Chains A and B, each alone.
Chain A
Amino acid sequence: MNFFKQFNPKSFVSKNAITILLFLMVIVVAINEPSFMSWGNLKNVSTNVSIRFIVALGISGALIVKGTDLSAGRIIGLGSCVAATLLQRPDYVDKFFPWAGDYNVFAILLLIVIITTILGIINGIVIAYFNVPPFIATLGMQVIVYGINLIYSKGQPIGALKPEFTDIATGNIFNIPYLVIIAVVIGLIMSFAYYKTKYGKYMYAIGGNENAAEVSGVNVKISKVKIFGIAGLLYGVAGFLLAAKSGGGSINYGQGYELEAIAAATIGGVSTTGGVGRISGVFTGVLVFELMKTALQFMKVDTAMQSVIQGLIIIIAVAVDIRKYVAKK
């Protein structure tokens, strides 16, 4: 059956229309603005991609089981604030917590990850055991976490972080940013989880047909709790890294990341109708979306208009994805 393996240019273009379009746009910008391809800019894009890729890996799990996760951005914001408040320079006079000592960076990472994983698990429990639609459950969580963070950080931006912490974001090995290496490692771990473990097989089965999976002996509820829990964990890591990269924490960090991640995952072929999606696709989606944003900046499109365009692309990406499945009916 060689026919099925043959490369079909027409179907390739129609399946990847948005990716191709965005890449074309990036190429045009790169030709007109040579500085776009400068080492500095590419490095900047790569670190942005790294953090967003980690977020999108969390969200793609929720999408594959026909869910969504709108709480991502605010959980990232909380993670960044916890990191920033506890990892300020010990000698800084105006510390957020005057009592705070010189804590180990990784101990704080662990603390953040525990908090955000618990938030993710709560999302999962509400969705799986109380049958609240993921859209509502995670929207509620989004608002709750924002409130908690407002109480915790008093809405103040927090800076003066200690260099051991910010080094994680600014450091390089052989000119490769640590952030990129961290994202690659996490990507590999998640690939293993998606393709090689029961966790992944169950996730795809639930997305493919939840009832059939249940009848086949899949514990659907526990699987969902795990998926949302791991998503929470990844948001925690992302929040931690975002604080390190920005040199501070703020209530507004991470805002809107969930929509960007949903768009990126969808552009990369994760279907909002469930059961479909590859990590390589998520990566492509995040990369393309981030390049597009940078290209808009280079084209001197004003920020308000950038926002309009990004929103449009998110909607178009989902519309194109849905069309693939509707047409098959």
Chain B
Amino acid sequence: MTKYQLEMDHVTKSFPGVKALDDVNLHVREGTVHALMGENGAGKSTLMKCLFGIYSMDSGTIVLEGNELHLKDSHDALEKGIAMIHQELQPIGEMTIAENIYLGNYPMTRKFGFKTIDQKKMNNDAAEILKSIRLDVKPTIKLKQLSVSQMQSVEIAKAISHHARIIIMDEPTSSLTQAEVSVLFDIIHQLKSQGVSIIYISHKMDEILKISDDITIMRDGKTVGTWPASQMTIDSLISNMVGRELTDLFPTREVTVSTDIALDVQNITSINPRSFRNITFELHKGEILGIGGLVGAQRTEMVEAIFGIRKIADGIIVKDGKILNINKPQDAIKNKIALLTEDRRATGILGVLSITDNVAIASINQYVDFIKINQKKVNKVVKESIDKLSIKAPSAETRIMSLSGGNQQKVLFSRWLANDPDVLILDEPTRGIDVGAKYEIYTIMNDLVAAGKSIIMISSEMSELIGMSDRIMVMCEGRQSGILDKKDATQESIMSLATKFM
């Protein structure tokens, strides 16, 4: 019988109206990377929150290295050897690295009879841990001076300082560059060799197959099964996650690209010298132009400049034979350009407002009669979008924050489609969305270009970039490193352009 380091058995957790976890089992072998997969809403996060003491289970047991745990809260979980690296890091930028690592757990000493923090011991210990994960920074510098990936390493250092036996990593690579990912993987290998196990949550299948030893798949709050990673393929992962065979990841599309130009971007350069410069491309009517590149390639900054969120120092943008003068989003909207932003929660959804209000906000001028908003007109547009994009919600008055990521994204699509834009810029349109909803988003994109609209799509997912784009412009360090035709686009050709100036 295999000995397990962590055993979660028959875990059940209900929220009002939903059974989020239903008799879930998770067994992790010592010193392994155990991937936890499933579509959004499958219950991965809930299960991890139970393990990390944020939620209390309705029933079920957690056994860590032979001892049954009854966790009071996340602080308790940390002390018992379970740590979690959150998807969205919450570092305290103004404090030093060492202070961040030992936050809540400072080594104490006595000075003049008062309990004080033992600065010397703290900094020395921190330096030791940093060295062990090969993060070459001084523990006394402020955290805000680090890059995102370095901050993540600091989080890992924090877990080590608590002598964690199990480290939960939730989408740890979502904001890392390729090089940084391989550094992270090195750290993971090292942790494994010390007998630490990693529970690894990610949507990136190639990554999971590469790093993990075992894979547990969840669906609808239940465990589908656990397999050795070596037995799995991307196809078998997907079919287990969605519970059906997906014959094709991308819907087929008749190529509809015309020779007419929808948007002509000539030599635009950011006012920020460290951002993008000399970007030139033509977007054709009926075309999907993919934009590839690593994190930090300034792709988002570039499209945000086209949309008027950021400013350009030089260059022009031409549409319908006119040079556009875009200083703010309103100007772009008037010129029938739309932007679906990258970070749905930060710059997309109006969380506490209804689906209706979320859809209507960008096109509100259409519905105003004199000064009164014609609610009938609004409701008609909203109802059409809900039907057309098959948005699943109890009603149009449901708050958008209670929808799944995929449905939120469809609402945001509706927001922009209500303006009937000619050029639709999509920044990571399927990030954090489950497989089924992705396919639906792709179908919407295909319908749009078939109707003569043009799309610019930033994506960090190679398969999506290659599968959906007619051409792919690749950026590296703020510069344009090349434009590939669909027939020349491969992982390798894109990657070599994405690292061209490094």
Which residues of A line the B interface, CB within 8 A? Answer: 1, 3-4, 192, 196-198, 201-202, 204-205, 207-209, 211-219, 271, 274-276
Contact = CB atoms under 8 A, between A and B. Distances in A.
Interface string B299-318: 00000000101000000000
A311 to B, nearest CB: 28
Contacts of B373: 196-198, 201
B394 interface: yes
Interface in B357-399: 357, 360-362, 364-365, 368, 371-373, 375, 394-395, 398
A212 B371 contact: no
B303 to A, nearest CB: 12
B347 A215 contact: yes
A274 B353 CA distance: 10
Interface string B321-351: 0000000111001000001010000111111
Nearest to A273: B352
B372 A214 contact: no
B346 A196 contact: no
A218 to B, nearest CB: 7
A212 B348 contact: yes
B353 A216 contact: no
Contacts of B351: 208-209, 275
Nearest to A209: B350
17 contacts: A196-B373, A197-B371, A198-B368, A198-B371, A201-B357, A201-B360, A201-B364, A205-B361, A209-B346, A209-B351, A211-B346, A211-B347, A212-B350, A214-B309, A275-B351, A275-B352, A275-B353
A260 to B, nearest CB: 25
B113 interface: no
Interface string B414-430: 01000000000000000
A209 B362 CA distance: 13
Contacts of B328: 219
B243 to A, nearest CB: 24
B378 to A, nearest CB: 9
Nearest to B344: A212
B17 interface: yes
A215 B329 contact: yes
Nearest to A11: B16
B330 A217 contact: yes
B341 A215 contact: yes
A79 B201 CA distance: 61
Given A3-B17, A216-B362, A197 B372 contact: yes
Contacts, number: 83
A218 B361 contact: yes
Interface of B: 17, 307, 309, 328-330, 333, 339, 341, 346-353, 357, 360-362, 364-365, 368, 371-373, 375, 394-395, 398, 415
A76 B348 CA distance: 38
Contacts of A4: 394-395, 398
B371 A208 contact: no
B395 A1 contact: yes
Contacts of B361: 201-202, 205, 213, 216-218
Contacts of B415: 216
Given A208-B350, A208-B352, 7 more contacts: A1-B394, A3-B17, A197-B372, A198-B371, A207-B352, A211-B347, A215-B339
A211 to B, nearest CB: 5
A275 B401 CA distance: 13
A215 B309 contact: yes
Contact of B333 (A212, A217, A276): A217
A213 B350 contact: yes
Contacts of A1: 394-395
A204 B372 contact: no
Contacts of B364: 198, 201-202
Contacts of A217: 329-330, 333, 361-362
A273 B17 CA distance: 26
A284 to B, nearest CB: 19
A198 B357 CA distance: 11
A209 B329 CA distance: 16
A222 B391 CA distance: 33
A211 B360 CA distance: 16
B465 to A, nearest CB: 23
Contacts of A205: 350, 353, 357, 361
A219 B361 CA distance: 11
A329 to B, nearest CB: 9
Contacts of A207: 352
A196 B360 CA distance: 13
Contacts of B329: 214-217
A213 B415 CA distance: 12
Given A197-B373, A215-B309, A217-B362, A209 B349 contact: yes
A130 B375 CA distance: 35
Contacts of A215: 307, 309, 329, 339, 341, 347-348
Interface centre among B357, B365, B398, by most chain A C-beta atoms within 10 angstroms, is: B357
A217 B365 CA distance: 10
A205 B400 CA distance: 12
Nearest to B307: A215
A286 B330 CA distance: 38
A197 B368 CA distance: 8
Contacts of B371: 197-198
B480 to A, nearest CB: 24
B170 to A, nearest CB: 15
Contacts of A3: 17
Nearest to A197: B371
Contacts of A214: 309, 329
